[in-house]
Structure 1
């Protein structure tokens, strides 16, 4: 798909060729931040694995285009505009997704913003900090809460939160984002315990620096730092994270919950 870039296309196609189309058969999944990058790759791989997928994002035009492209591939997808900073929007999207799908089996909390890249702790504006926390932390909590009743009714509900390995190694000059992703990891532990009795698994994936549109601002020195430090010495692509998300949503992971799994080629071993 053009939205993922040629290299991403090739890697994702290879992953999909190895993914059983029945892995998530008849599952109903909501993916936030799905208009591009990792979220779009997740949505495509989840739908390819047999699920019906609702894509949600604040970027309405790219969202419409992405959903149309997936539908043209014969995938069962539907688009909903979402502003995670707006609690009413979160509630509306959760309800609309459940209504459209007739229930909900999986939620991928992928949507997030950075906004603090390149600024040290003194240069970081309070408004920027608050915005990042509102979207990345509060938004993840509110969306999870809004979807919890439907996930509980499912009997095999799964939540996959997107954390970041930056919170595991303490990336500098990215404080608001790093702190928000550390909070997402902690939230994952707590929600796993709260909702385990409803047979809902809650896990977090912590990707390393991934080649997608959202990381184009990252200086080359940071890319090189990852390349030099990974056990697998190559750039990370969106497809590298998709398999772990599919696993966490599937019946293969029904006894895995409350975990934060770094997916970063061995840059951080946790």
Structure 2
């Protein structure tokens, strides 16, 4: 029986958006839990630095370039990752863009809206499809989609991102039903406002709102979200699917 520190022993995991922030935290935690991890990102230099740092620690990771706005890039990344891993047990659809932060609805450009949807929604869908043959073959596949708690409370001045992350929740539920017969679980993790590079644009006032209204009143860190992702990738969650795990210190309770 595996220990709590080796919940993913022998697992083969692909994580998108893994060069920094939450994705890097997930990749680190998964590798520390015994998994081999394919780390995918569009930020090639940042990715290679992160991969090298983890490899120096003796962790089994490799880097792969992906642009979630490009269907061909998604297919190539999935193929190369599965080939390096020798199969696939878990996929973490973490990569996303924000772009609409700080803008009211009438200030949003159509081109920006489409870009957010192409990456956050279509990209998540296409990466999942590209990985399905390998996930089916493994017999115990897990898909973890990163949503956000913003659609759970209706964050303002962030509409394209909020809409995209709401779509991810809907996709998660539909995919859970579609793929349950293949013994593939599909769950969403919805973090609150986390201190990472991608949230540096967020005004101080909103950070303070999250801080003050959380049941656990402190800043949310990347490692706070890792437990939910590792759980969803592990055998502990084999009868848990179609669910949204809001990890936000009690800011939103569902």
TM-score under structure 2 normalisation? 0.98
RMSD: 0.7
Q: Distance in 2 between matches of 1:66 and 1:22?
A: 22
Name 2:207's counterpart in structure 1.
Answer: 223
> Is 2:166 the partner of 1:175?
no
Q: Distance in 2 between matches of 1:95 and 1:137?
A: 20
Q: Distance in 2 between matches of 1:183 and 1:148?
A: 20
Q: Distance in 1 between matches of 2:37 and 2:65?
A: 14
Name 1:12's counterpart in structure 2.
Answer: none
Offset, 1:22: 1.9
Helix, strand or coil at the partner of 1:268: coil
Q: Distance in 1 between matches of 2:4 and 2:216?
A: 26
Unaligned runs of 5+ in 2: none
Match of 2:69 among 63, 85, 98: 85
Encode CA deviations 1:217-240: one digit per residue, 9 max, x unaligned.
110000011011101111100000
Encode CA deviations 1:177-205: one digit per residue, 9 max, x unaligned.
00000000000000000000000000000
Match of 1:63 among 39, 47, 53: 47
Offset, 1:142: 0.2
Name 1:10's counterpart in structure 2.
Answer: none
Q: Distance in 1 between matches of 2:216 and 2:83?
A: 43
Helix, strand or coil at the partner of 1:122: helix
Q: How does 1:118-129 map to 2 (within 5 A)?
A: 118-129=102-113
Q: How does 1:154-233 map to 2 (within 5 A)?
A: 154-233=138-217
Q: Distance in 2 between matches of 1:217 and 1:257?
A: 33
> Is 2:245 the partner of 1:261?
yes
Q: Distance in 1 between matches of 2:167 and 2:47?
A: 27
> Is 2:17 the partner of 1:33?
yes
Encode CA deviations 1:65-102: one digit per residue, 9 max, x unaligned.
00000000000000000000000000011111111111
Name 1:152's counterpart in structure 2.
Answer: 136
